[in-house]
Structure 1
């Protein structure tokens, strides 16, 4: 029969041990030397707390039942005792057994049904009052123990309690069983305080200072209506929320998704036109974020969200960090993303949001030092952010399609699914922010999860569960088409390849433009809204500068417009193209030449150009001491249409080029709950870890049986370093359980080897804490500095 967790783990089949490691991957970071070390790590405070954080409310209530029913002498309980205690609360035994099974899978409890052990670290990370019950009366006070031992006397005392005193008892019986009272009032014989009445009748026991505690037996008696564990919650709370029409929710979400894609593109274009500098401390300054928000017509929180998501998707990057001030601008992958369909572009943004470890909601808030948290800084990194988003969307996905719960409904369900996580204020705020961000990005519509978002979540989960070792060469069958992509494509309007040209020179796009049409419109017209553009003399000149001629522009409008091309547009193109290139700018300081002598004379006499210091070099040539770029800009500002030319006299055609940052990868293709502490454990890797643990454990046990000494002396035939350390850890664990003294050999900070006779108090987080009874001092030893450990009766190391 297994007595310790290490013995229990050794007795497990390889499949069950691998399942435990898969559920608690932090136990093998790094892989321990043997199973004894694995058991020590499994009972550490941090690992136990991480496991309990993922448990639902009912499983934690069953865990409290295990703690309550433990025998004080053997520190064990039984499944029958737990079923009996929870059965008084009216809970089905099947659900209790399922909860016990989950606790067994995590090694929180272990052993047979008749002798159930609790992992050592549970009491350290849980409330000292399981199920809100206080300590037994015999641990608090002999008088209280005598009272509860006499059932008739206890009932008479409770029935005689004044209403105010009974109210105090009921409140403490509901938990926690600790209250505060004024010591002076308790010591005042003339006081009519209800707490003093209870203390003098031994219904409450002073525990030092101003605190009083309700004995466990009295709490159990007062809970006779709700059960000894109080009200149990075997099922999550029901969500009574309105149900939207699925098609309406999908249409609303698709519209928001299209708006998110458009705003992300506008944000990237704004950064391409004017890259945002990065602060010396990292991130984007408040002024830059405010400027970008105004440029695309969004609030600052929404702009921060899109900025973080676009950066996580690999659409934005940093450039210039080595040669000058670093700036944020579109990355090389942005151009490829831009030519995709709306559904493809949204899917990339949505996956990046699901998987990124950044919390945009923190941007603009202040840290503990009252500093503003900037966007794109390391200060907004939160490794638990993907899990929070997945949890809130998981609640929506588990509801019937079209259900639109309120934030309070979602919080109540989450509080049942992960009460330890929801109990933290920061985590609760993170869930609320995730819900708001999901609505902004189009995951939800009218408060309900959209159908394409359901497909996307399923695909991300499937990718997370996929075994990368199944196809190491990457030549397996092609992946099936994305159902999320198909569902969203069916909801979004089809891209259009035509426009409607109005008589006021506005160009209306009756839908999302296809990539080719979008590129042409960006060149020949200025955007006034997502679907309305305007043709201006500047936009026509911009097209002519990029290589178009008047005939090309006429043909473009004739080909793309479903309405007759207005005569005013034809005249505008002809007028600008007729004047375009009449003047040419070159580099000589700079020079200006043209075939029209009268036009040159007009320029020379133009008072608006006096600051250029133009003078005639020849009948058809003017010269200026300023650079060609300044001369070109001044002439265009004055209403002329010059074009630049190179040293050979050929016209220089220019198409605006947007700067790009180096290509950077997007978010990973699978969901990661905690990138720092959750490694990717495939079946093959799990099998290898189990085999490594078995080999290490066999070597350690063989070394223990060998007639060798653990003393590390030069020239001695002792164990290898790793085996000696493993044996020392095993000796210390046994001494900790037996509360026995051991000789500990260790290397101090100066490299000298010493030994000390101590009694271990605790071991965890990389340190041994032990008491030296001779000096009555508590010492702390780093585990990696311990070279040997032997029981007291053995010679010291």
Structure 2
């Protein structure tokens, strides 16, 4: 079969071969050396499974029809498949299967690729094996159709219910205590066959008879299920989505600010613990699943990451890219988050569930990693994008359509697809259940072209000219940023729109955030004024800030509050010291202060017997010892610290991730790959046609000649070929010691090397003369 399959590939035109590679891009990872290698790979279990994963429900049913109609010699025909399907759409599905080379051969002798049976269910269309393969008594019963029908009609109601369940597929059932009686009757009457002590199987003939009304393939669904949903005004859906997009950006910023104030500790097993996640969720006022989603998205967008504190413990905190991201306008900030969500191989909905060892799954841990997550998001958004604008489908309708489009791929992914719908609503990709206009663009670009792609840090100016189409579409739906506030008499500050980045930074410092929405509300408190004073503001600075930003008169109560807090601010002084020096000998401390060699330590006298320095203990001890003083290191309790040498270890390097995504096969690239495979196949076939004297030459003599005589004869042939510009077969030993042969046209001989042009690849090769074992002119 492999040889026939390879010959069939050779008979294809370049366009047909390129179409096969386009439909099955995994076949060129890596590019096969020749058509024989391509044939082997196309029939392998892994490649066939990938091809089947992309087939819809009806096409898989047609493939089952081909498997069911095979003769004992393994062949079927187009007519037999179409007759079993009994639907006009079956011919198009069969054409697709042949284009994918899952079915090969002429119309009257079709072959199903062997890999299909290896990776598919052993029961095509949910039907069991033929009776002849199971039991002689059952085979005799099935050979008499009239007797088989009478036996089925005589089955008790409970036994008939068992038959109906098995006829729907799969045809194998297990025995239970309550069902033993009817099953025993069916086994005794040869309608079921016991295949083990606890399992029975329904013969194919019995299943086909029970399916006489629905057809041998069961319920055939050539068309996908309809998705109706609820129709909404597209503008209303866009507005709702844009509002949620603003909220997602605000919550992400609040989450990262909470991490900045108190970084989350990374667990030894990886990820952020339940307690830290609960703290972050409470800090930004959301449920823990939403906090887990925002945390995962921020990590995927490069806005948060892992770092080590001085003690060596890993922490999770904002990255340097976060500050640049905060300085952008809302649209590109959201686009960066949405693009990261669409492409990240993480499923945040798993956070909080239990793994197979009944342990909680933590955010940012490896347990949340799912390689198929990007494909699941793209599939869901593709369904939403195909609906008319403003259509909000029910989740069950989306799941039913996804199951029909790719049953093998959708199996077991129901929860993942539901999570995509929930995440899209949280992030503002959808509004009121319908995909937004900018969400359609995001899905259409497959996460490409966003801020994260063009700029590693996402640093962009606020100019519209640098917006992507997604960000520009969203920006048109968002209210314009404002640079002013409305200060009320009760010390609340109303921001009538999304604040500019500079205004937002000022408000975060001088006021407490109370509510968000179209108009955000802040409140000035004693704590917020004190926080601004701690940041370096003076009372005059705060008065000027409120006068400059407020469109309403500044309340007198706010002026009094600022002056009162500023008057008390700084009454107590708190500072830090890197290390201290303590001694009962005051004269010795005076000597240290006067010693010019210690001037760089910045020593300051706190008490008659205590000096302080801003530098750490290690530097202080080194400087004192170099100056000739004998200090002793003590701990916080005053006990002497015994120093021991530390053992150094190298950091463990993380293994590089393997990229397994299929390549993007453009038309020029496909043409190049096809040409490469054709040339490789021609070279491989030509090597097999090389003269026996060349293929057998291995340096030990040819046709009775010694190695030296064979080498001398080969040089004479090569010199003649150079003069005549003739083709010659060259046998040689490569750098690995393996023998090989090549058909070339010699160009020159000199300096111990032969330079020749390969006739098929048109590439110039250089051969060391001492490695050439034979040379024969091409006939």
- Output the TM-score relative to the length of structure 2: 0.72
Maintained 8 Å contact 2:733/2:740: no
> SS at 2:357's partner residue?
coil
> SS at 2:476's partner residue?
helix
- What is the distance in 1 between the residues matched to 2:533 and 2:426? 40
2:142 alignment partner, one of 140, 148, 151 = 148
Cα deviations across residues 155-182 of structure 1 (Å, max 9, x unaligned)? 4444444444444433333322334559
Which residue number in structure 2 is paired with residue 450 of structure 1?
Answer: 436
Alignment of 1:771-782 (within 5 A): none
Which residue number in structure 2 is paired with residue 558 of structure 1?
Answer: 547
Which residue number in structure 1 is paired with residue 725 of structure 2?
Answer: none
* Count of aligned residue pairs for this structure pair: 630
- What is the distance in 1 between the residues matched to 2:164 and 2:737? 57
Report deviation, 1:684: 4.1
Report deviation, 1:311: 1.0
Maintained 8 Å contact 2:272/2:363: yes
State whether structure 2 residue 370 is matched by structure 1 residue 376.
no
1:435 alignment partner, one of 410, 421, 429 = 421
> SS at 1:4's partner residue?
helix
State whether structure 2 residue 681 is matched by structure 1 residue 697.
yes
Report deviation, 1:312: 0.8
State whether structure 2 residue 521 is matched by structure 1 residue 527.
no
> SS at 2:323's partner residue?
helix
Maintained 8 Å contact 1:700/1:726: no
Report deviation, 1:78: 1.8
> SS at 1:171's partner residue?
helix
Which residue number in structure 1 is paired with residue 62 of structure 2?
Answer: 62
Moved more, 257-266 or 312-321: 312-321
Moved more, 269-278 or 297-306: 269-278
Maintained 8 Å contact 2:2/2:39: no
Maintained 8 Å contact 1:528/1:534: yes
- What is the distance in 1 between the residues matched to 2:448 and 2:467? 14
> SS at 2:391's partner residue?
coil
- What is the distance in 1 between the residues matched to 2:108 and 2:661? 35
- Output the TM-score relative to the length of structure 1: 0.71
Maintained 8 Å contact 1:373/1:380: yes
Report 1 or 2 for greater relative contact order, CA contacts < 8 Å, sequence distance ≥ 6.
1
Alignment of 1:705-716 (within 5 A): 705-706=689-690
Which residue number in structure 2 is paired with residue 100 of structure 1?
Answer: 94
Maintained 8 Å contact 1:5/1:119: no
Which residue number in structure 1 is paired with residue 85 of structure 2?
Answer: 86
2:671 alignment partner, one of 687, 700, 709 = 687
1:352 alignment partner, one of 308, 325, 340 = 340
- What is the distance in 2 between the residues matched to 1:272 and 1:184? 62
Which residue number in structure 1 is paired with residue 128 of structure 2?
Answer: 134
State whether structure 2 residue 294 is matched by structure 1 residue 306.
yes
- What is the distance in 1 between the residues matched to 2:176 and 2:503? 79
Report deviation, 1:66: 0.9
Report deviation, 1:290: 1.9
> SS at 2:513's partner residue?
strand
Seen in structure 2, the aligned counterparts of structure 1 residues 125 and 524 have a Cα distance that, compared at 3 Å, is same
Report deviation, 1:264: 0.2
Cα deviations across residues 271-321 of structure 1 (Å, max 9, x unaligned)? 122222323333222222222122112222111110110111111122337
Seen in structure 2, the aligned counterparts of structure 1 residues 109 and 297 have a Cα distance that, compared at 3 Å, is same
- What is the distance in 2 between the residues matched to 1:420 and 1:383? 16
State whether structure 2 residue 482 is matched by structure 1 residue 496.
yes
Q: CA RMSD in A?
A: 4.0
Report deviation, 1:420: 1.4
Seen in structure 2, the aligned counterparts of structure 1 residues 98 and 461 have a Cα distance that, compared at 3 Å, is farther
State whether structure 2 residue 46 is matched by structure 1 residue 46.
yes
Maintained 8 Å contact 1:289/1:300: yes
Report deviation, 1:697: 1.9
1:505 alignment partner, one of 491, 495, 511 = 491
Maintained 8 Å contact 2:732/2:739: no
Gaps of 5+ in 1: 187-192, 469-477, 591-616, 630-671, 728-797
Cα deviations across residues 567-587 of structure 1 (Å, max 9, x unaligned)? 222333445556667998899
> SS at 1:676's partner residue?
coil
> SS at 2:559's partner residue?
helix
Alignment of 1:2-13 (within 5 A): 4-13=4-13
Cα deviations across residues 403-445 of structure 1 (Å, max 9, x unaligned)? 3333222222222112112322xx2221122222112111222
Which residue number in structure 1 is paired with residue 653 of structure 2?
Answer: none
1:250 alignment partner, one of 224, 234, 238 = 238
Report deviation, 1:83: 1.1
1:567 alignment partner, one of 545, 556, 576 = 556
Which residue number in structure 2 is paired with residue 748 of structure 1?
Answer: none
Cα deviations across residues 650-684 of structure 1 (Å, max 9, x unaligned)? xxxxxxxxxxxxxxxxxxxxxx9x95242344444
- What is the distance in 1 between the residues matched to 2:700 and 2:349? 62
Cα deviations across residues 357-409 of structure 1 (Å, max 9, x unaligned)? 11112223333233333222233211100011111222222233333333222
State whether structure 2 residue 160 is matched by structure 1 residue 171.
no
Seen in structure 2, the aligned counterparts of structure 1 residues 490 and 182 have a Cα distance that, compared at 3 Å, is closer
Alignment of 1:564-643 (within 5 A): 564-576=553-565
Moved more, 397-406 or 201-210: 201-210
